[in-house]
Amino acid sequence: MKNIAVIGLGIMGLPMAVNLVNAGFMVAGFNRSQAATDKLAAAGGRGATSIADAVKDADAVITMVPDSPDVEAVVSGNDGVFANACKGTLWIDASSIRPDVAKRLSDDATAAGLRPLDAPVSGGEQGAIDAVLSIMVGGTAGDFADAADILGAVGKTIVHVGPSGSGQTVKAANQLIVAVNIEALAEAIVFLEAYGVDTDAALKVLGGGLAGSKVLEQKGQKMLDRNFDPGFRLALHNKDLGIVTAAAREAGVAVPLGAAVAQLVGSLVAQGDGGLDHSGLFKQAAALSGRK
């Protein structure tokens, strides 16, 4: 497989597409904003004029868009992926969407003659840039094997987790864990600063013990610097936590910490902070204690 189409060249999609170019694939990309398409072209890819143009010769199509309705919009209809990709094309949805929607769209893709994989990613913008994303993949074992080189060009930890929809279920669990950890880290830093502790030293030693995590490693300094430039926006994490709480309710599973953090994230988004990085939860944790 050499020809790859990437639909959605945002914070995650563009660096993934560039890494595919760097790995030797022929990459055609389409995005609603021309600027992102131009960046891909400058990196050696081809800027497509439409979804149909991007997927017409593709061996595999990767979609990377924000939410369930966005995925449905780019794959459905006369101008969508399903109507324009060749029979037998791999469709790899790297978006984070509802598991039930992933399963339904997988069935639609199969009916259209495509081979679907739901393959949401974790690792944020830096993980996408460095091609070290964790990728949790739902679909058939055969299609997963055929996608190995493509996924290996953008990720590091790549695991087949079950049939269609399973990747999105595991991603929802990932977003639950990450959100709770970010909130705990934010509260811990507010606590440390209240006592005048050397926070740089504190995070260093905490990172070497059981409290250490990727969240602490990647988000701790952002909180100390009050730098909430987006690597993964609060608005998107708010969407993901909505998926978690809805899916948990459907399964009859209690997620009390997840539900509490979902409310905190939703509150920040409602206050206009949805464009901040999800480490921006620190703003709220500090404000609750009368701090900045």
Catalytic residues: 171
How many Å separate Cα 141 from the centre of its chain? 22
Both tokens of residue 144? 């997963």
CA distance 175 to 266: 14
Asked if 208 and 136 touch (Cβ cutoff 8 Å), the reply is no
Asked if 198 and 233 touch (Cβ cutoff 8 Å), the reply is no
**Phi/psi class of residue 65: alpha, beta or left (left: φ > 0; alpha: ψ in -120 to 50)?**
beta
Sign of the Cα pseudo-torsion (174, 125, 120, 279, in order):
positive
Asked if 58 and 28 touch (Cβ cutoff 8 Å), the reply is yes
CA distance 82 to 80: 6
What does the angle CA 179 – CA 101 – CA 59 come to, to the nearest 5 degrees? 100
User: In Å, how far are 52, 126, 215 from 130, measured between CA atoms?
Assistant: 29, 6, 17
Asked if 120 and 95 touch (Cβ cutoff 8 Å), the reply is yes
Residue 15's closest CA among 147, 151, 125? 125
CA distance 15 to 64: 11
Asked if 132 and 151 touch (Cβ cutoff 8 Å), the reply is no
